[in-house]
Structure 1
Amino acid sequence: MLIEIARFFASLASYDRFRSRYSIRGVMGPDEFHSGYPHAPYGGVDNNAYTNIMAVWVIHRAIEALDLVPDRYRAELVDRLRLDAEEMVRWSDLGRRMVVPFHDGVISQFDGYAELSELDWDHYRERYGDIRRLDRLLEAEGDDVNRYRASKQADVVMLFYLLSADELRDLLQQLGYGLEPEAIPRTIEYYLARTSHGSTLSAVVHAWVLARGHRDRAIRYFEQVLASDITDIQGGTTAEGIHLAAMAGSIDLLQRCFTGLEVRGDRLILCPQWPDTLGTLEFPIYYRGRQLWLKVSGRSIEITAESGHQPPIEIMCRDSLVVLHPGSSVTVS
């Protein structure tokens, strides 16, 4: 499946001789507002940064997965899928020469984004109040959202939700682009100011990406996620069906975002950032076949392991490394 997904994205890319890079043209990114350009509103956009970067990411993962398969099975798989050397060479080339557009020190949502008009956000908020479905408001005025630097939900910002800063920086470096540390918060703030949050999932993504540097703002978006169906924040859509992805996103924010929970190699990584005003956050997880209990208070976390004969677990929290043995507890901060 991974190989076929990589094949699909590779098939979308065409070589741009002027840029000496590969382009993916005529797509709609996660934003969903931009179905095309002002002169061709239904033709899609070119080189959506999220699409191009994630295409490269999946191609790299497919190559890595093939390398992990034992030689005998790998030969059978390659033969069955008719994956020849020429195709692999093209994948490798795509992984080094895909277009990623930039403008004004930020990652561009797509080619030509910087040429679009700026929207008077204050005017529309003052006039309509709720501008989540900005596209419909503009359409009612005889206008088109394709003309503006405006997003329904996270698009470029999705990159910071799915990839760590190091992963994204490494991908861009392999493509020949630089991404200085200050470019990340600058890019997030740039698009945050141009997003109407017309989807319940937008609050999930923005809560996540703001959690490290702007915890208070992240909690406000988290509260929006929790209220999605309870208060029917989109004004009638809950009756048509609950927003299950936003519900799952709220659990993910608790389990992984506000705890900094991730796995790197053979270590469990934690970096808690939970508001003290919300009390203690407690929940169990399963890690490599064993149950652990996590108790989070502010920037500290207590981890308790069930009894048994399993090997100890290495846990990293910020710059501290501790070892958790079966039937014991450790606290890190």
Structure 2
Amino acid sequence: GWEDLLRSQREYLDEFWDAADVEVEGDPDVQQAVRFGLFHVLQSGARAERRAISAKGLTGPGYDGHAFWDTEGFVLPALIATVPEAAADALRWRHSTLELARERARTLGLSGATFPWRTIGGQECSAYWPAGTAAFHVNADVAVAVERYRIVTGDDSLERDCGLELLVETARLWVSLGHHDSAGAWHIDGVTGPDEYTAVVDDNVFTNLMAAANLRAAAAACTRHPQLAHDFGVTTEEAARWRDAAHSVHIPYDEALGVHPQSQSFTRYGEWDFEQSRNDYPLLLHEPYVRLYRKQVLKQPDLVLAMHWCSEAFTPEQKARNVDYYERRTVRDSSLSACTQAVMCAEVGHLELAHDYVHEAALIDLRDLHHNTANGLHMASLAGTWSALVDGFGGLRVQGERLTLDPQLPAGLTRLAFRMRWHGMRLQVQITGSEVRLSLRDGTEGTLSLLLVGEEVEVAAGAPVTRPWTRRSPLLPRPVQPVGRDPHPRP
């Protein structure tokens, strides 16, 4: 009856908030918004084994119900850490479309599987479009989500059930798409990265790094499950080719400027006249894409997203210079922008700018900042707000198979606390202006080893760990944004 339904719903939500709540002191707008966002992200993942988690979740008709790479890239990291069973359902749904992805790969003359840019039931629902058809990184986004699920949960049952096949088929795609040059470097040409204002380029750094991660994960998973790998036709020689491609991947670097070009030759493109277009945002409504493709103007973070998701591939100095370079050229015409910029600005020490971006990501729908909330909420930005706070100010990273935390709080926040699951344990993190405290909320047998502010620590149930943290000084001054694209002001 009604009372039973009410009780079960209350118990479910109590369990969710006990594992997922984020507390923000000092910014009541962000506090309200992050809980608003987490609820809708939870709701969007309901029954995800039967349907895709769409860009608008269950909230409106925007994008006609289509799902994009936003799901694996932005929504699943939050779900994996808080409601892992919902994330597993979403990955099982993706696996249920694998045969359609194989057909898509054959249509494009490639091996393995090519997952669609936009879809409802697994078929590609977009006509040819340079920013979509060539966005092969979608496949690595799926694979890396599979790998992240295994690492964070400590559970390899999903990998056995469907994850290994996803890893194998996406690895086969990359080997058929890339090639070695005469010097042995491995390149991927004719692709589009996350930035939709730059299309069909060679050696997009994000794509290359994610493809390499995909290939390494596939090879390692085949070693863990040799019989399954054999059943999928993987030979020792094929896995060796995956490892070789990943090891040899080419990552462009501009020695003169001291930054990574987003893709090969990007830093020699002409500069965009931001002064002339200061009243024309979003640019896609005022400019032909073919003009945007030729200039150094970004719709959303691309190289900066690579630094977040593939953090170990960059030095702190490179991160600082890259953030400075791309902040000046990113117009944030995509709702995927502010959350990523928040994370990386926090890492390089621009904490107030990071706070501005957290506020923008969190309030995108509650303040209708893109003037289109009537079409539905922006699920990736709402989930991205969780990442902006947890990865940005919490300093959470998964390096290899290890959890690391290196917090940084801006002056406007007095306390940040969040909860997450790691290997079945519930970890609570509390950050104040001078220290960080970790505690486990499960039984007496649980012990978690991690890197906290650069120090190896062990947290046991009933034995919390506290360490001081200090604010990092930025290596460079606060960067400026394109004319007319300062972050939305905080109160």
Do these two structures clear the TM 0.5 threshold for a shared fold by scoring above it? yes
Q: Conserved in 2, the CA contact under 8 Å of 1:271 and 1:317?
A: yes
SS for the counterpart of 1:211 is helix
CA shift for structure 1 position 168: 0.8
1:197 counterpart SS class: coil
Over 3 Å counting, the alpha-carbon distance change for 1:197 and 1:86 in structure 2 is same
Kept in 2: contact 1:312–1:324 (CA 8 A): yes
From 250, 272, 277, the counterpart of 1:119: 272
Pairing 1:57-136 to 2, within 5 Å after superposition? 57-69=213-225, 74=226, 76-103=227-254, 104-125=257-278, 128=279, 131=281, 133-136=282-285
- Partner of 1:272, secondary structure, is coil
Alignment of 1:103-182 (within 5 A): 103=254, 104-125=257-278, 128=279, 131=281, 133-139=282-288, 144-164=291-311, 167-169=312-314, 181-182=316-317
In structure 1, which of residues 3, 11, 14 is the aligned counterpart of residue 179 of structure 2? Answer: 14
Q: Which residue does the alignment assign to 2:93?
A: none
Determine the structure 2 residue equivalent to 1:34: 198
In 1, Cα distance between equivalents of 2:455 and 2:203: 41
Please, which moves more after superposition, 100-109 or 307-316?
Answer: 307-316
> Is the CA contact 1:14–1:24 (under 8 Å) kept in the aligned structure 2?
yes
Deviations 1:277-331 (CA, angstroms, capped at 9, x unpaired): 3232233333333334332212412233336331443454224454433224332
- Report the residue type matching 1:51 in the other structure: T
Give how far 1:272 is off: 1.9
Is 1:23 the counterpart of 2:192? The answer is no
Provide the aligned length of Structure 1 versus Structure 2. 300
- Encode CA deviations 1:20-40: one digit per residue, 9 max, x unaligned: 4332222111101123xxxxx
Give the partner amino acid of 1:251. Answer: W
4+ residue runs of structure 1 moved beyond 6 angstroms?
Answer: none
**Distance in 2 between residues matched to 1:307 and 1:117, nearest whole Å:** 56
266-275 vs 187-196, greater mean Cα deviation: 266-275
Query: Structure 1 pair 265/168, CA: closer, same or farther in 2 (3 Å)?
Result: closer
**Alpha-carbon spacing, 1:55–1:268, altered in 2? closer, same or farther (3 Å):** closer
Residue 175 (structure 1) aligns with: none
- Between 1 and 2, higher relative CO (CA 8 Å, sep ≥ 6) is seen in 2
For residues 269 and 13 of structure 1, the distance between their equivalents in structure 2, rounded to whole angstroms, comes to: 32
**Paired residues for 1:122-271 under 5 Å:** 122-125=275-278, 128=279, 131=281, 133-139=282-288, 144-164=291-311, 167-169=312-314, 181-212=316-347, 213-235=349-371, 237-262=372-397, 269-271=404-406
**CA distance, structure 1, for counterparts of residue 306 and residue 401 of structure 2:** 25
Q: Do the aligned partners of 1:266 and 1:314 also contact (CA within 8 Å) in 2?
A: no
Partner Cα separation in structure 2 for residue 266 and residue 138 of structure 1: 44
Equivalent AA in structure 1 for residue 275 of structure 2: D
Report the 3-state secondary structure (helix = DSSP H, G, I; strand = E; otherwise coil) of the residue aligned with 1:252.
helix
1:202 positional shift? 0.6
How far 1:267 moved relative to its partner?
6.4
1:143 Cα deviation after fit: 7.2
Displacement of 1:239 in angstroms is 1.4
Alpha-carbon distance, 1:217 to partner: 0.8
Name the structure 2 match of 1:49: 205
Aligned counterpart, 2:441: 306
TM-score scaled to structure 2, two decimals? 0.56
Distance of 1:15 and 1:271 partners within structure 2: 38
Q: Distance in 1 between matches of 2:456 and 2:303?
A: 34
**Quick one: which amino acid aligns to residue 190 of structure 2?**
G
Unpaired segments of 5 or more residues in structure 2? 1-165, 469-491
Worse-superposed segment, 196-205 or 86-95: 86-95
1:287 equivalent among 404, 417, 422: 422
Sequence identity of aligned pairs in percent?
31
**In 1, Cα distance between equivalents of 2:197 and 2:401:** 41
Residues 91 and 245 of structure 1, relative CA distance in 2, 3 Å threshold: same
CA RMSD between the two structures: 2.5
Q: SS at the partner of 2:368?
A: coil
Query: Kindly tell me: are residues 49 and 242 of structure 1, through their superposed partners in 2, closer, same or farther at Cα, counting changes over 3 Å?
Result: same
Partner of 2:453: 318
Q: Is the 8 A contact 1:306 1:328 kept in 2?
A: no
Using a 3 Å threshold, how does the CA distance of structure 1 residues 160 and 67 change in structure 2: closer, same or farther? same
- Which residue in 2 is equivalent to 1:41? none
SS at match of 2:303: coil
1:4-51 CA-to-partner distances (Å, cap 9, x unmatched) read 11111111113334x54332222111101123xxxxxxxx22221211
Mark the CA change 1:61 to 1:148 in structure 2 (over 3 Å): closer, same or farther. Answer: same
Closer, same or farther in 2 for the Cα pair 1:317/1:53, shift >3 Å?
closer
Q: Which amino acid aligns with 2:309?
A: L
